[in-house]
Chains A and B, each alone.
Chain A
């Protein structure tokens, strides 16, 4: 069923009786060309691009819980491509371009809103670093715009420009950045994949891999064994647990990142604002809630909940840069489990086991990468060659000494 304004009108006039479920609920078949493990944003996006762009339609997505129940449902919905390093920035810019056409592509309202993202700076040195980053973004075809304090005072008068510790000297805009409706992204990809015949199998936990003589031939699940020519693991947050079943150790630690939503307010914050020096970022959702977050808690965790010191730290950051939010009441907070990699950058790669592929290590940046992650993973699965913007996102890069370390903080996952 194609969604359109006409369809809404017609259904509205005929009692909304014609809507059908957005996807089927099939039982697993005996085997597939590709089995994607993990029905989150990246897994569904992979299945979507495999079936819609690369012509691989004999595909199943197996998901332990329900579709989109992991980090695609637990993030702060920000999309941007303001990275610096050559191994990263072209990849995220591809993602940005895919975001821009996503709703037309999937025929699904993902509420992509290019309301801009702003990174604040407070010193001359920081400004110079941002100028360098902006130039690097231009090289990859992204947009960037440096704003001084006078311009920001006009656009965002509510910021604490004269903060004693971090006075605001300006910021780096990416006007094409913004937010998207996170669940709708997963649902749009799921529906688009399902329409091409991809089986989306929920409540189906992978309990092991069928590996014979270094070749992966399928997965064992709670709903029986499924044969596969290629198994594509895509379970960021649980990567180490799943890949341990294939005997692999990963350059990843799992950490918890908390996020918060205030009560609904009238529109006050036009775009996304990040205050890196104070570990705080914020945007306002379409419902009016202030959506904000900060640093990861900093210790290994699979708990999907964090601790109070970080709540305090994040709120202090918010009060420091934006005192007006002090009277907004907190509505909800939650934690999501991040694959924190050793250099802060992700992986889309084959493994040393034939037929077993790995996508993970997204740190706290997985949401914005959802389209390109799926696209590049689908490219790898369909052609056995990495996509040209994902050639650096390899599992063996630490061994080769080719880290993609945006922050330059070394192999310390909780510092990225």
Chain B
């Protein structure tokens, strides 16, 4: 697979380390009433879809950026690659803010 890195252009997937579902960006609020349940779901349960999947790849043998790759798990076709930083910001997360 070739991952179209937003900054570096096309890179071999072998340069990356795979973490998993991009829902890992959405860490639950540790102060919520149901935090234990939410963290269990966050840590252990996955949608694991057959089809479009947003996932986190880390460019370990490159610029060490985290990417959110939208990839089809049935065909391995990659349709979108974004910097995880940008995705997290779009979701309302920013450095120093705890939500």
Is A154 in contact with chain B by the CB < 8 A criterion? no
Is A77 in contact with chain B by the CB < 8 A criterion? no
Check B13 against A307 for contact (C-beta < 8 Å).
yes
For B75, the chain A residues whose CB sits under 8 A away are 303
Complex interface bits, A233-258 against B, C-beta within 8 A gives 1, otherwise 0:
00000101100100001111110000
Given contacts A300-B55, A307-B13, A251 and B18 within 8 Å (CB-CB): no
Complex interface bits, B1-15 against A, C-beta within 8 A gives 1, otherwise 0:
100000000001110
Check A411 against B18 for contact (C-beta < 8 Å).
no
Is A342 in contact with chain B by the CB < 8 A criterion? yes
Check B45 against A251 for contact (C-beta < 8 Å).
yes
Check A249 against B45 for contact (C-beta < 8 Å).
yes
Chain A binding site: helix, strand, loop or mixed by DSSP? Answer: mixed
Complex interface bits, B58-99 against A, C-beta within 8 A gives 1, otherwise 0:
000000000000010111100000000000000000000000
Complex interface bits, B29-45 against A, C-beta within 8 A gives 1, otherwise 0:
00000000000110111
For B50, the chain A residues whose CB sits under 8 A away are 238, 241, 254, 302
Out of B14, B45, B55, name the residue touching A250 (CB < 8 Å): B45
Total A-B residue contacts, Cβ distance less than 8 Å = 68
A336 CB → nearest B CB, Å: 15
Check B76 against A412 for contact (C-beta < 8 Å).
no
Check A251 against B13 for contact (C-beta < 8 Å).
no
Given contacts A307-B1, A307-B76, A299 and B47 within 8 Å (CB-CB): no
Out of A302, A398, A411, name the residue touching B74 (CB < 8 Å): A302
Out of A241, A300, A303, A398, name the residue touching B43 (CB < 8 Å): A398
Out of A238, A252, A309, name the residue touching B14 (CB < 8 Å): A309
Given contacts A302-B73, A302-B74, A412 and B46 within 8 Å (CB-CB): no
Given contacts A300-B73, A302-B73, A398-B40, A253 and B46 within 8 Å (CB-CB): yes
Check B44 against A240 for contact (C-beta < 8 Å).
no
B58 CB → nearest A CB, Å: 12
A358 CB → nearest B CB, Å: 14
* Chain B minimum-CB-distance residue to A254: B48
A399 to B55, CA, bound (A): 24
B92 CB → nearest A CB, Å: 24
Is A136 in contact with chain B by the CB < 8 A criterion? no
A302 to B75, CA, bound (A): 8
Check A300 against B53 for contact (C-beta < 8 Å).
yes
Looking at B20, B47, B73, which has the most chain A CB atoms within 10 Å of its CB?
B73
Is A262 in contact with chain B by the CB < 8 A criterion? no
Check A300 against B44 for contact (C-beta < 8 Å).
no
Is A69 in contact with chain B by the CB < 8 A criterion? no
For A299, the chain B residues whose CB sits under 8 A away are 13, 18, 55, 71
For B20, the chain A residues whose CB sits under 8 A away are 253, 300, 412-414
Check A249 against B46 for contact (C-beta < 8 Å).
yes
Is A301 in contact with chain B by the CB < 8 A criterion? yes
Check B44 against A398 for contact (C-beta < 8 Å).
yes
Looking at A253, A299, A342, which has the most chain B CB atoms within 10 Å of its CB?
A299
Out of B21, B46, B73, name the residue touching A301 (CB < 8 Å): B73
A307 to B18, CA, bound (A): 14
* Chain A minimum-CB-distance residue to B19: A412
- Besides A299-B55, A413-B20, 15 more A-B contacts (Cβ < 8 Å) are A241-B50, A249-B41, A249-B47, A250-B45, A251-B45, A254-B50, A299-B71, A300-B73, A302-B73, A303-B73, A303-B76, A307-B1, A411-B43, A412-B20, A414-B18
